[in-house]
Amino acid sequence: MEINVEEFDRVAREVFAPVYPVIAEQIKQKTGITRGTCLDIGCGGGYLGIALAGITELFIYLFDKSPEMLEIATRNIAGHGLQKRARTLLGDVHEIPLKDQSVDLVISRGSIFFWENQQKAFQEIYRVLAPKGAAFIGGGFGNAELKKLIDARMGQKDRNWQERINKNIGENAVETFVKTLGTAGISKFEINRGEAGLWITIWK
């Protein structure tokens, strides 16, 4: 799927900006992982990974298949003074260019809905996770108040916005993800779906 990189990043900065620190705190509270290595899949400009770096001691890989997105992420790393704590990584979730059991935490907001083969992607994520590692993946908006705000703003930009949200995190999403995770051979997971979106937590 081709995207307009500049427009995508502008929306991330102008519309979704309040979401990243909230989700970063949720990741920290849910997983309890604050040290080691983190992989932010489909990072775009790196906003979620950078927010998490600000409240933990994690080293962050900002991982995306778009070189243009990673150029923006590189600028954002420098802008936050994180050159020693973060770096970009080019590649695809279906073939993550990292060693087995080399990552303590995997995070991703929004990219899961663009994965061509979710089963293969989950298997790759599980492969790179270290023992006692965790993954926090999904399509959340932080909290119900932020979701309402974003729905209103995105609805003005995209008339199909609500339809896409319902497709991605609607009533059937949990059942679909349970089946996909099972097929991927992952047994230790939790799926939370509420007013603020949907998150999958995987433990190893």
State which CATH number among 3.40.50.150, 3.30.70.1450, 3.40.50.1000, 3.20.20.70 fits the domain covering 5-203. Answer: 3.40.50.150
pLDDT value for 117: 97
Query: How many CB atoms are closer than 10 A to CB 162?
Result: 12
pLDDT value for 2: 60
As given in the structure block, the two tokens for residue 157 are: 């930009």
CB 173, CB 193: distance < 8 Å: yes
Residue type at position 60: I
The residues, ordered by sequence, that sit 6+ positions from 6 with a Cβ below 8 Å of its Cβ are none
Q: Is the dihedral of CA 79, 81, 83, 87 positive or negative?
A: negative
Between strands 129-138 and 189-194, the pairing is unpaired
Taking the C-alpha atoms of residue 95 and residue 121, their distance in angstroms, rounded to an integer, is 8
pLDDT value for 138: 96
pLDDT value for 105: 98
pLDDT value for 155: 85
CB 60, CB 38: distance < 8 Å: yes
Nearest to 177 by CA among 129, 135, 128, 138: 138
Instruction: Show me where the domains of the chain are located.
Output: 5-203
CB 180, CB 122: distance < 8 Å: yes
- Residue 135 CB-half CA count within 13 A: 31
pLDDT value for 93: 98
pLDDT value for 134: 98
Mean pLDDT by runs of 10 across the 204 residues of the chain is 80 92 97 98 97 98 97 97 98 98 97 96 98 96 93 87 84 92 97 92 98
As given in the structure block, the two tokens for residue 151 are: 């729905």
Taking the C-alpha atoms of residue 50 and residue 124, their distance in angstroms, rounded to an integer, is 23
